[in-house]
Structure 1
């Protein structure tokens, strides 16, 4: 019985030291079904991993032991992109609000990229485009047509 107790204490000390790793250990004396019982529980956490072990003896030669390994899954908030509601207000009567690359022309692509509904951008483009065949709106075309087509531009 002394050898069992001594072995048990040495084992608990080594495991609690953990060879430089952060281990936790509990040693307790209690009463089991067959009299006094010595219990040892050790644990270690590393990242999402959780290691546990336990053992007990009843000083009469009976031993019990168990080991468990677990992993904790956590959903990271970095995995789910946030959604933002953004309203950007620009001067709807200013040519440069539509000329994305500042090349002095508004293309159909630039116009449709500005609006959530591409059909709306396409219709506005065709209404502003005086020279229907060239596929672009010049500043002169915009300044002439914007007061007729865009609300709020009549005073510009």
Structure 2
């Protein structure tokens, strides 16, 4: 989708391989996370779920979208169904976990190509370095922040609340 100009132009695949239109999230604040089930950072699912439940309860216009990725140490080898089951059974995840994607390389999900171009990482790097990297998209469809895997979800609360307080 080279012609995409905002977050809302993309239609990644959901866990069943169907298009998940991000246009449905227009005007909302969205935290995008590339996830993995067998990673040292996997316990962040707990923090992400708490953040989602706490903020979504008072701000129903806040969403988290998880994108499983097997590109880093083959740490999410399961099928989409196995990944969904893992997330729900082990962490009670209620936010959408979409279909497995690549975030780097020739087969990278176009959404991640766009996110990386909009908000390059440290020293201008345009690749995702590891699982659980996070991107915050504001109501205007623009990337407001990008954080490394080591950034705990709960530490993002202030930035998310700032994005929620902003008007389009």
Rg comparison, structure with higher value: 1
Q: TM-score, normalised by structure 2?
A: 0.21
Of structures 1 and 2, the one with the larger relative CO (CA 8 A, separation 6+) is 2
The structure with more strand, counted as a fraction of residues: 1
